[in-house]
Structure 1
Amino acid sequence: MTDSAVVAFYRGQPDNLGRTWDEILAQDDEWLECRHDFIQWLFPLATPSRANLSAPLLGPADIDAFRTDPLLRRKLLLSLDRMLRFYGLKRTDGGIAKDAAWGQRKKNWFVRPTHNNLRITRVLKSLAVLGGESEAGQFLAALRKLVRAEPDAGVGADALEYWEGALR
């Protein structure tokens, strides 16, 4: 059986724009902030993206592949690590916490509503579907904690509701 576009991408083949998984993860934060056509490849879903109509859609075989193939799982978690770094966060033994860049990185997403709220929803949903339920739960717990604890939180209740709904 031939790999789907998303599984092939995670195994080293380029996306529809000729970029590999490695190349996307190596991009700087500015690139990630300005581009809206990569997140669907890193965190695919079964539903179409309004931001990228060419994005691959997950099918049952893809979900099974991510849930059973250790390479795909490892790379999915590395994708999560890259996006967490983009947000100024990091995975720890017990969950997800702020990293050294938090003070700078939060300005791009945490102090006011941005398109990154949609990206976070996608990350949570994709992780939960592809076998990363634990990591998705940790990410949501960290988001809840940050919204409660940070005085300059611009993330509203509606965003939290979307994020919580992503894991229902």
Structure 2
Amino acid sequence: MPKHQRSLNQNEKNKVRAARADFFKIHKRKKSTTKDQHLENDSTTTNKSLDTMASSKCFKLPGLTSKKPSSTASKTPLIIRFYDTDVQARDAHGRTQEEILSWPDCELERCHNYIQMLFPVPEGSAFNWEAPIIDREVMDAFRTRGELRSRLRLSFERMLHFYGFKIAAPSEEISDTKAFEVEAKSDAVQENRVEDAAKAEDTSAKSRSRNSAEEEASNAQDPMEKNNEENTAGECSSVPSSPPIYCLIRAPNWRQSFQTWAVRFDHNHLRITRILRCLRILGLQSECDAFFEALKLVYNDPSFNISERTMSYWTRAVTRPLYIAPDDDRIEWLKEWEDEQEKLKLGKGQGQDR
């Protein structure tokens, strides 16, 4: 009979039992039996042979390995190692950040257990119990390490493309039409406005007398220019007087991308809430604000019909104190952190007054 197929003798069985007991830290043994005395005598040789037994074809104990894991890596939260350029750890499903970001848009839409890894929050997820959760250590790491925030920004920018947005380049003029793209509204809405303006002007012109018409014509404003000014004012009603540092505009693929999520109810609305909250907690406040401004423009666009409930959750994610989640969960350690920040501000203010 081949060696690897033979049965274990009693001595070998005793070694396996001793090794298993040592591995699981089970040391409850009876006192006065020949069998237990034999186990005690073999315990010294058992510890020396664990690595050999783990690699043997005859002995495969679960969890045994000859390579000791790094204590430093095991203590560092997974989300930090996932975003650390030098580590690039894999998530619970064996995927790196680079692999996820390389997915096509259809895969990002179809898969539901990656968004919690890319954008963790302090609250748990009902859709992915294996997702990491932000704690104080994670937040402090991202807020103090620029390379972690840079990697998080890559995830954000990939999702921006998925949702049909892009970052306005510094060389682009942040004007009414550049920053918020008058053409973003549907062609049908735009053409109707032009036609309505033209009809109104035509009716007004017929009611004038010939003499007054000649006088007014010299001072009349071109209807198309007037219509463009009205459109521009409507688009930029929420534009700040000075352009934001991080400005988003609609990408060339926005029409197709908006069909996925710019509807009354959609699972992407929950994803967007998570993204906004994650960016804000982990130190990407400018990105969070710019994304929220772009979302508000879509919400206010009559071409789309996003629910008020959805907009209320997006607003909560951006405007509430950090320790209060959009669904009203309270995170105590975030409350303590915000209290610390408030005390620091008060201390600085008192120092400047002196």
When normalised by structure 1's length, the TM-score is 0.95
Match of 2:310 in 1: 159
1:3 aligns with 2:76: yes
| 8 Å contact kept, 1:40–1:55 | yes
1:123 aligns with 2:275: yes
Match of 1:82 in 2: 158
SS of the equivalent of 1:54 reads: coil
- Which structure 2 residues correspond to residues 10-159 of structure 1 after superposition, within 5 A? 10-11=83-84, 12-92=88-168, 93=170, 94=244, 95-149=247-301, 151-159=302-310
CA distance in structure 1 between the aligned counterparts of 2:248 and 2:115, rounded to whole angstroms? 20
Q: In the TM superposition, what is the alpha-carbon distance from 1:71 to its structure 2 partner?
A: 1.0
If asked which structure has higher relative contact order (CA below 8 Å, sep 6+), I would say 1
Q: In the TM superposition, what is the alpha-carbon distance from 1:156 to its structure 2 partner?
A: 1.2
**Deviations, residues 21-45 of structure 1 (Å, cap 9, x unaligned):** 0000110101000111000111001
Q: In the TM superposition, what is the alpha-carbon distance from 1:154 to its structure 2 partner?
A: 2.3
Q: In the TM superposition, what is the alpha-carbon distance from 1:152 to its structure 2 partner?
A: 2.6
CA distance in structure 1 between the aligned counterparts of 2:300 and 2:256, rounded to whole angstroms? 19
**Deviations, residues 35-58 of structure 1 (Å, cap 9, x unaligned):** 110001110011101111110111
Work out the percentage of aligned pairs sharing the same amino acid. 39
CA distance in structure 2 between the aligned counterparts of 1:112 and 1:91, rounded to whole angstroms? 25
| 8 Å contact kept, 2:117–2:132 | yes
CA distance in structure 2 between the aligned counterparts of 1:112 and 1:102, rounded to whole angstroms? 17
Counterpart AA for 2:283? G
Q: In the TM superposition, what is the alpha-carbon distance from 1:3 to its structure 2 partner?
A: 1.8
Structure having the higher Rg:
2
**Deviations, residues 109-151 of structure 1 (Å, cap 9, x unaligned):** 00331100000000000000000111111111111111113x3
Which ranges in structure 2 are unaligned for 5 or more consecutive residues? 1-71, 171-243, 321-354
CA distance in structure 1 between the aligned counterparts of 2:126 and 2:156, rounded to whole angstroms? 22
| 8 Å contact kept, 1:66–1:72 | yes
SS of the equivalent of 1:144 reads: helix
Q: In the TM superposition, what is the alpha-carbon distance from 1:157 to its structure 2 partner?
A: 1.1
CA distance in structure 2 between the aligned counterparts of 1:6 and 1:30, rounded to whole angstroms? 25
| 8 Å contact kept, 1:37–1:51 | yes
Which ranges in structure 1 are unaligned for 5 or more consecutive residues? none
Count of aligned residue pairs for this structure pair: 167
Counterpart AA for 1:16? A
**Deviations, residues 76-120 of structure 1 (Å, cap 9, x unaligned):** 111110001000111225411110000000011003311000000
When normalised by structure 2's length, the TM-score is 0.46
| 8 Å contact kept, 2:262–2:298 | no
Counterpart AA for 2:127? A
Counterpart AA for 2:97? W
| 8 Å contact kept, 1:111–1:152 | no
CA distance in structure 2 between the aligned counterparts of 1:65 and 1:120, rounded to whole angstroms? 23
| 8 Å contact kept, 1:13–1:20 | yes
